[in-house]
Amino acid sequence: MPGLFITGTDTGVGKTFVTILLAQALASEGIKVGVMKPISTGPASEDDARTLKKRLKLKDQLKLINPVHYKKPLAPLATEIESRKWRVESGKLREENRKLISKAYRQLEKKHDLVLVEGIGGVLVPIWENYFVADLIKELELPALIVARAGLGTINHTLLTIEALKRRKVPILGLALNGFSGKELSEKSNARIIEKISGLPVLFQLSQISG
């Protein structure tokens, strides 16, 4: 497996946290791991790509780790719609950014045994018009790991995420439930119900929800 795409059921569900944990675990096994955040939004001080580079002490250039960045903390499509450039050159800009992402990923793939790719928001976050995070996963030809919340409401969000990926024939490795406290009643049954309905394994549950 040359790479793995870490996606989530929502924004702030802990994708960066899980990406860091996986990268550290794989590196401890002697695997040369590359990490990528294809698209990021918001101020540089809150940028997940910079967090990944700093926490994992990545030597790759930031432009490879994060080839596309938008300054406003919005879905990428919303950011582009606000600009005159989107209205005038939306098609051209979309293709340029797709090429940047693809080129950066292929370069990282050549340099590392495995590349962990962290998505932005959930799988139906619009990147460009009629092009979603799920389409990016499909285009990169990667299996997905879904990060979901452990508590109440996660069954609906998780099954919708699985459905969107399956519709695009994206292989799903399994799920990680984050923010597990062991105190909330729904946490006791959520993993079992999700596994039973989806046929996918909950690979691990984490107590911390960060990033």
Q: What DSSP string describes 111-133?
A: HSSEEEEEEEEETT-EEETTEEH
Look at residue 195 and tell me if it is in a domain: yes
Tokens of 57: 């002490």
Known binding site: residues?
Answer: 12-17, 41, 48, 118-121
Q: How far apart are CA 58 and CA 109, in angstroms?
A: 14
Split into its structural domains, the chain has a count of 1
Token pair of 163, please? Answer: 């459905």
pLDDT digits 0-9 by tens, 22-39: 999 999 999 999 999 999
Look at residue 87 in the predicted model and tell me its pLDDT: 45
Catalytic residue among 32, 37, 85, 166: 37
**59 classed as catalytic:** no
- pLDDT for res 91: 57
Low-confidence ranges of the chain (pLDDT < 70): 73-74, 76-93, 208-211
User: Does 184 map to a domain?
Assistant: yes
Give the pLDDT score at 188. Answer: 87
Domain-located, residue 211: no
Residue 33 lies in a domain: yes
Residues of each annotated binding site for Mg(2+): 16, 48, 118
Report the predicted TM-score, pTM, of the whole model to 2 decimal places: 0.89
In a domain, 72, yes or no: yes
* Structural domain boundaries, residue 102: 3-206
CATH number of the domain bearing residue 152: 3.40.50.300
How would you list the strands of the sheet with 3-8, edge to edge?
33-36, 114-122, 3-8, 144-149, 172-178, 202-206
Longest dimension (CA), the chain: 53
CB 7 within 8 A of CB 137: yes
**What pLDDT does 159 receive?**
97
